[in-house]
Amino acid sequence: MIIGRFTNEIENVLARLKMILISTGVLVMILAGIGGFFYADSSLKPVEKIIDTAKNIEENNLNERIKVKTQDELGRLASTLNQMISRLEKAFEQQKQFTADVSHDLRTPLSIIQAESSLSLKKDRSIEEYKKSLELILEETSYMSEIIDKLLFLARSDNKTQFYNFTKTNLKSLLEEVIKKVSPLYLNKGLALEVAKLEELYIRADKDKLKEAIINILDNSLKYTDKGKVTISSVKKGNFAKISIEDTGRGIPKEDLNRIFDRFYRGDKARTSSEKSTGLGLAIVKEIVNAHDGRIEVKSEVGKGTVFSLFLPIEK
């Protein structure tokens, strides 16, 4: 049996279904577009806030930060930018302090030279008085020259252009040369420079730079040790040669220990001392030790003394 049916009804149903699908598709696309617009607008608002904050940040207001409200990708981006701004703020503050310190340290000797020169020109003086004036001017000029030389060294170190001539070095011989050079200075002050133990060790070093670092520490001990002695030693400590310089000086306050290697930093006692100090010696020591792949440690107690320990890799 063959059963037949008119197709008009089926075609009408399909036509209506087609219209429904088209209308639904258009409606979905419109709703998706509207929803996407609002979603994109809400998603881009945090980006706009980041851009606005970044535009407002200048050298004089580096304390501004981007508000972080989410932990998604934008939140992590804002946190990263905040960390970068914090580092920039710290760098700018250090630069400002550095500039102020340099200006202060150079202004003082310049003022002394200017005053002494003016006095010498205004009235006649005896030969002895002229000699004293010239000696004072020479002293202040040497002090300025020392500051400039140290600043140039640190600038080259920062730019990674400081040259080091590394060679296999007998540490015992190097220390003996240093001791021979500084002993008269200790003798003049009535201090004893004692040698505890100098082991026969070899390191890879720039002899002149390393001598300068050790002399800077010994000079520091000489300035701030009024009585007693300074002891120097070198021993093997694992894979390192340990150089120790121990004094019976005034000691360093606990709150100053973390800052003594900062450029131009001077503790209160150093500031009031009659001894001149550029405040750059220990900063240079740290740079030299770091260049030798070493490290430096300090232990101190006020009224009892200080121990500087340099650890340098042993040459195998």
Is residue 5 scored above 60 in pLDDT?
no
Distance of CA 230 to the CA centre of its chain: 29
pLDDT digits (tens, 9 = 90+) for 237-269: 999 999 999 999 888 888 888 888 887 776 654
Angle of helix 73-122 relative to helix 127-158, nearest 10 degrees? 160
- Regarding predicted confidence, which is higher, 28 or 204? 204
The DSSP 8-state label assigned to residue 63 in this structure reads T
- SS3 for 275-299 is CCCCCCHHHHHHHHHHHCCCEEEEE
- Regarding predicted confidence, which is higher, 146 or 64? 146
Q: What is the mean pLDDT of residues 270-282?
A: 64
Tokens standing for 312?
A: 């340098």
CA 297 to CA 311: how far, in whole Å? Answer: 8
- Regarding predicted confidence, which is higher, 78 or 204? 204
Question: Residue 301: beta bridge partners?
Answer: 305
Per domain, the residue ranges of the chain are 8-56, 74-158, 167-313
Q: Which residues contact 128 (CB under 8 A, 6 or more apart)?
A: none
Q: What is the mean pLDDT of residues 289-300?
A: 94
Angle of helix 281-291 relative to helix 207-223, nearest 10 degrees? 150
Is residue 13 scored above 90 in pLDDT?
no
Tokens standing for 175?
A: 């220390």
Residue 293, Ramachandran bin (φ over 0: left; ψ between -120 and 50: alpha; else beta) = left
Q: Are strands 229-237 and 192-198 parallel, antiparallel or unpaired?
A: parallel
Is residue 171 scored above 80 in pLDDT?
yes
CATH superfamily of 167-313: Histidine kinase-like ATPase, C-terminal domain (3.30.565.10)
Tokens standing for 280?
A: 């750059």
Is residue 168 scored above 70 in pLDDT?
yes
- The pLDDT, as a whole number, for residue 272 is 43
Contact 147, 276 (CB under 8 A): no
Q: Which residues contact 230 (CB under 8 A, 6 or more apart)?
A: 186, 191, 192, 193, 194, 218, 221, 222, 245, 246, 247, 248
Q: What is the mean pLDDT of residues 67-85?
A: 74
- The pLDDT, as a whole number, for residue 116 is 80
CA 119 to CA 168: how far, in whole Å? Answer: 54
pLDDT digits (tens, 9 = 90+) for 30-43: 767 666 655 555 55
Q: Which helix (H) or strand (E) holds 203?
A: strand 202-205
Specify whether domain 74-158 bears CATH 1.10.287.130.
yes
Tokens standing for 126?
A: 């005896």
